[in-house]
Structure 1
């Protein structure tokens, strides 16, 4: 009779819980995390069936309470399911799992593995590895997954000591021949860049499956060894192993890195031939490969054929068009993107900034902020570049104050370099130096940026001193360093120092001079009146002179009044760029200065013949976040009358000040008795 009552009570509580949980689970939003539990056991117990649909810890605790009341929790399998949910489910709680684990009298291997895996998922590797060490110390029976999960925890350690100890235990306990464990070791070592050790394990494997091959291929691809990845793929096919989606994605990544379009196309053809269904991830990998290999037509064709697209698909296309300079198409796709993330915004902002559209970059940045997006490092670097191009110091200072000083964003080396460049282009050399001096870690770009800052702002000696500090700090200068140094010498009139840097480039640092360095030297010599030496250098260059070289010589001719050499230089520049209106005007001005009116007339008529029009000078001003562009004698602004009224007052005050200076009596130097 008592057994019957207990049975009825158990049935009653189970039924109540079942109905209550059904109502609870049915009310759960479909947007909440679901528990993707995996078990080979066929579950028939109604309580455990309900638990498999559990999505929150609140639901789990109710079910666990019922399991405790009925005694179901004392059985190994039910308690292992509760533990698995707490440790592995998106809505679980690893701390609760740890407390539960400590209450289990004799946890089995599955439970130990669950805790290691759970702490890996929670990104707490120390705790995960501590469970593995406890398994070793308490002589708990291990299986293949114990080692695989232990290796997973080692991925987040900076050293390889922990992984080596796992490897030693694998060999000691005789698991090295197990395919699952060997694949785990190959994947771990390949992922950490220890490719020789990974390849040794791969070559020693008597049995290989698609995971073995893919792990090794992915290891090569992720470390830019694309040729090795391709070679291994061909060997994989000849071995009769059918590649999977992960294999193709790894290979396409290798093609993207090396720009191997033909190989990427062949992989695409192979995929279409072997696979009737192509997942979104694989489609995106193909799209990314075409974009990075500068095959936008193929990318767009694939994009148009894709039945489903996500934010990555749209962003790839926006980025592709932006990088190739087709900003109109990039903006069109950007506006059509149904859901944008910060990478989508970055792609277009960067495209505007890198393609001399800084105003558009800044405007889009304001739109991004208004849309509630939080900028990341790449965003700020692009906007700072735009600020430098426009000399928008106020915006640059606001970015430093709002994002860096308020600790919303960490000042990385890359970001610090961008701030140095922005301040330098805005003429704030002291602020640039302050950022540089505050850097605890610097790279070559940091040194190049601050040297360039001093060079472009006419501080030649300081630039040279910084170069000496850079070399003493163990950094090897590159071609960009020498462009800045030669620019500094040119602005400072330091001919001897410039010659020494130019000659030492290849001799001392193994950097072969390029067109830019020759242009800098021609500018240096020309500015200092050494026109014959400059002309000799330009005619003896080991490569064809560029526009900048001839342009530098032409400008030097203007400074020193050499009309004949100016005509020669202008002719060479115009042969390279016949539509450059500035060259015609510069040549005409040089001839006019020397009263060569016939040559002036010839330059003007040549402009008309070629249909070249002088590009009017433009200015840009920012007023309360709005950018206003105007030309010389522009009357398009609605407040034109007031603007010109203020300008006239400024002119009047300037003339009045000049008049006062002329009328003031000269000061007397009483000591020497002379006019000062």
Structure 2
């Protein structure tokens, strides 16, 4: 439907409140439904409903009291003997914008325009809120409404509309437009700051979210609220920025920001995913109120650190306090069993999910079991499970088995699994890379080149390795092969020193998985440039001896980097903590917590 944009008029008619409306209808925003119905009946009996201002206030009270009353408000409007005014339309739009059916707000907005009434500055914030609720990703609605705002001359003069525009574009993923409008805001309130921070978090631009928060603290005297700090905690979680996360936690305590269940759970998740699992456990134990998500987050944190028995113990405690695990909880529990090699426990829990807890297993749950069987070298059982489950196998299931095939060098099954993955998703990067590596390891370079050409033709690109390391509150990112960091020369010198020391320990670079027909020296140089190695060298250069190094990587740690980190932890007497996309690796004294299977 094409959006009608009305002409704006130069003046607005001023309405006078009738004395009847003020005397006989006590205005209130907190009336119960029964009281509203009584008031409605009284106004019908004494004729007060004929006064447009009184009727308008009644409609507003009904529409904004509770979403369940919106149909009642709609019936009041339809029974009026005269045309509703803009205030009534705005009340209906506002009510539906805050309801589970925000699309109805758009419907009322369009009816308002079709009726010949033009919106005012009180209309647009709620229409834009409805668009944001609907995640209007093609912008068809929002752009039309934004155009009307501009045509009415309200874009640059009303702070509420400006904030609503920022929030709309932010919620719909157009973060650069949101930032441009934010910078133009005459008055930036906490809502507009929060909208921008959340937009950056949703767009995975976590450093930008933290920069906006710092700017908010430095340039304004606006009081930070729970929503603000929640967004910043989420950003710290993804970046692995423990120091920044600790600072924001202290800020929350110092400024007496309410510690809701959501915020407490986010802090637990932050500490767990930043490698400080002990602090996460303390915070969890101190929380007076916990919901299912809190328990699930803590169980998942223990699982990712390899504390399988503790995770299962926590599941038992959860049930003792009367909370029932949900689908997410069981994903965390089965993941814990997988990382802990607890095959019997995992299979038992899978059986109990449906029978005892009435939770239907999903692809993710079966994926955990396939991973569990694969880790125990029971690849045939894992394949049999995939073939007999009631769900259609997807790349998650096949991918779990592919990891096991790669770990135990089962090339024949791995090749079959990778081909099955490509049937489900012809553009799956991991399957292409695995097959390319298989062919490369056997010297089948022509097939490797064919695969690489096919990937290029289909636009399939392996995401570059990226590693993050925090230093004094700033997060440094290293991309594989990138030389843009200001300390890159020193980092390369440090890597040369490390390589020399590791050679004395017998370390030989594992070049077998490099699917390029190049000289061995060039392969070693390619391994030398992996992002986590750059990050570790940077950490060794810039931290005190004995300090733990914490790194977050976007991909799975490769075999060579894994053996590299074990020896670095031994030679330099450092604990190195790496969070890859599978789990945490605690490297200490030449060993890793994953037991060399991840």
TM above 0.5, yes or no, is yes
Is 1:266–2:107 an aligned residue pair? yes
Q: Against the structure 1 CA distance between its residues 531 and 252, is the aligned structure 2 distance closer, same or farther, given a 3 Å change threshold?
A: farther
Alignment partners' CA distance in 1, 2:91 and 2:431: 51
Q: Note if contact 1:495-1:525 (Cα within 8 Å) is conserved in structure 2.
A: yes
TM-score by length of 1: 0.63
- 1:128-151 per-residue CA deviation (whole Å, 9 max, x = no partner) reads xxxxxxxxxxxxxxxx99xxxxxx
How much has 1:421 moved relative to structure 2? Answer: 0.5
For 1:294, the equivalent position in structure 2 comes to 135
For 2:282, the equivalent position in structure 1 comes to 434
For 2:119, the equivalent position in structure 1 comes to 278
Alignment partners' CA distance in 1, 2:372 and 2:458: 32
Q: Against the structure 1 CA distance between its residues 657 and 337, is the aligned structure 2 distance closer, same or farther, given a 3 Å change threshold?
A: same
For 1:330, the equivalent position in structure 2 comes to 178
For 2:328, the equivalent position in structure 1 comes to 480
For 2:246, the equivalent position in structure 1 comes to 397
For 2:228, the equivalent position in structure 1 comes to 379
Q: Note if contact 2:162-2:181 (Cα within 8 Å) is conserved in structure 1.
A: yes
Alignment partners' CA distance in 2, 1:257 and 1:568: 51
Q: Note if contact 1:519-1:552 (Cα within 8 Å) is conserved in structure 2.
A: yes
Q: Against the structure 1 CA distance between its residues 40 and 549, is the aligned structure 2 distance closer, same or farther, given a 3 Å change threshold?
A: closer
Pairing 1:169-248 to 2, within 5 Å after superposition? 180=25, 188-190=30-32, 195=33, 207=45, 209=49, 215=58, 219=62, 222-225=65-68, 229-230=70-71, 232-234=73-75, 236-240=77-81, 242-245=83-86, 247-248=88-89
Q: Note if contact 2:439-2:445 (Cα within 8 Å) is conserved in structure 1.
A: yes
| Larger RCO (CA within 8 A; separation ≥ 6) | 2
Q: What secondary structure is seen at the aligned counterpart in 1 of 2:123?
A: helix
Q: Note if contact 2:163-2:192 (Cα within 8 Å) is conserved in structure 1.
A: yes
How much has 1:40 moved relative to structure 2? Answer: 11
Is 1:364–2:212 an aligned residue pair? yes
Q: Against the structure 1 CA distance between its residues 263 and 592, is the aligned structure 2 distance closer, same or farther, given a 3 Å change threshold?
A: same
Question: Please, which moves more after superposition, 289-298 or 229-238?
Answer: 229-238
- Which residue among 430, 434, 437 is the counterpart of 1:586? 434
Q: Note if contact 1:199-1:216 (Cα within 8 Å) is conserved in structure 2.
A: no
For 2:154, the equivalent position in structure 1 comes to 308
Is 1:568–2:419 an aligned residue pair? no
Q: Note if contact 2:436-2:451 (Cα within 8 Å) is conserved in structure 1.
A: yes
For 1:415, the equivalent position in structure 2 comes to 263
How much has 1:500 moved relative to structure 2? Answer: 2.7
Is 1:557–2:405 an aligned residue pair? yes
Q: Note if contact 2:243-2:472 (Cα within 8 Å) is conserved in structure 1.
A: no
- 1:427-450 per-residue CA deviation (whole Å, 9 max, x = no partner) reads 211000111111122222221221
Alignment partners' CA distance in 1, 2:91 and 2:385: 49
Question: Please, which moves more after superposition, 371-380 or 269-278?
Answer: 269-278
Q: Against the structure 1 CA distance between its residues 202 and 575, is the aligned structure 2 distance closer, same or farther, given a 3 Å change threshold?
A: farther
For 2:344, the equivalent position in structure 1 comes to 496
Q: Note if contact 1:561-1:594 (Cα within 8 Å) is conserved in structure 2.
A: no
- Which residue among 187, 203, 211 is the counterpart of 1:355? 203
For 2:515, the equivalent position in structure 1 comes to none
Alignment partners' CA distance in 2, 1:204 and 1:635: 77
Let me know the Cα RMSD of the aligned residues. Answer: 3.7
Alignment partners' CA distance in 2, 1:241 and 1:40: 17
Alignment partners' CA distance in 1, 2:18 and 2:97: 40
Q: Note if contact 1:558-1:590 (Cα within 8 Å) is conserved in structure 2.
A: no
Alignment partners' CA distance in 1, 2:99 and 2:327: 23
Q: Against the structure 1 CA distance between its residues 592 and 223, is the aligned structure 2 distance closer, same or farther, given a 3 Å change threshold?
A: farther
Q: What secondary structure is seen at the aligned counterpart in 1 of 2:294?
A: helix
How much has 1:393 moved relative to structure 2? Answer: 0.7
Q: Against the structure 1 CA distance between its residues 213 and 327, is the aligned structure 2 distance closer, same or farther, given a 3 Å change threshold?
A: closer
- 1:582-636 per-residue CA deviation (whole Å, 9 max, x = no partner) reads 3322333345557777765554443344343443322234445554433334333
- 1:313-365 per-residue CA deviation (whole Å, 9 max, x = no partner) reads 22323223333333232223223333322221211211221232222222222
Q: What secondary structure is seen at the aligned counterpart in 2 of 1:281?
A: coil
Alignment partners' CA distance in 1, 2:412 and 2:133: 48
Question: Please, which moves more after superposition, 340-349 or 559-568?
Answer: 559-568
How much has 1:397 moved relative to structure 2? Answer: 1.0
How much has 1:280 moved relative to structure 2? Answer: 1.0
Alignment partners' CA distance in 1, 2:17 and 2:444: 93
For 2:374, the equivalent position in structure 1 comes to 526
Q: What secondary structure is seen at the aligned counterpart in 2 of 1:340?
A: coil
Q: Note if contact 1:454-1:463 (Cα within 8 Å) is conserved in structure 2.
A: yes
How much has 1:267 moved relative to structure 2? Answer: 1.0
Q: Note if contact 2:377-2:404 (Cα within 8 Å) is conserved in structure 1.
A: yes
Question: Please, which moves more after superposition, 253-262 or 407-416?
Answer: 253-262
Alignment partners' CA distance in 2, 1:576 and 1:471: 38
Alignment partners' CA distance in 1, 2:113 and 2:492: 67
Q: What secondary structure is seen at the aligned counterpart in 2 of 1:464?
A: helix
- 1:462-517 per-residue CA deviation (whole Å, 9 max, x = no partner) reads 11111111122122222211111111111112222222322333333333333322
Q: Against the structure 1 CA distance between its residues 580 and 366, is the aligned structure 2 distance closer, same or farther, given a 3 Å change threshold?
A: farther
Alignment partners' CA distance in 2, 1:256 and 1:536: 50
Q: Note if contact 2:105-2:130 (Cα within 8 Å) is conserved in structure 1.
A: yes
Q: Note if contact 1:490-1:524 (Cα within 8 Å) is conserved in structure 2.
A: yes
For 1:617, the equivalent position in structure 2 comes to 465
Unaligned runs of 5+ in 2: 1-15, 508-566, 572-598
Alignment partners' CA distance in 2, 1:270 and 1:608: 51
Q: Note if contact 2:469-2:476 (Cα within 8 Å) is conserved in structure 1.
A: yes
Q: Against the structure 1 CA distance between its residues 223 and 563, is the aligned structure 2 distance closer, same or farther, given a 3 Å change threshold?
A: farther
Alignment partners' CA distance in 1, 2:389 and 2:66: 38
Alignment partners' CA distance in 1, 2:43 and 2:65: 22
For 1:464, the equivalent position in structure 2 comes to 312
Q: Against the structure 1 CA distance between its residues 525 and 657, is the aligned structure 2 distance closer, same or farther, given a 3 Å change threshold?
A: closer
Q: Against the structure 1 CA distance between its residues 568 and 517, is the aligned structure 2 distance closer, same or farther, given a 3 Å change threshold?
A: same
Q: Note if contact 1:259-1:292 (Cα within 8 Å) is conserved in structure 2.
A: no
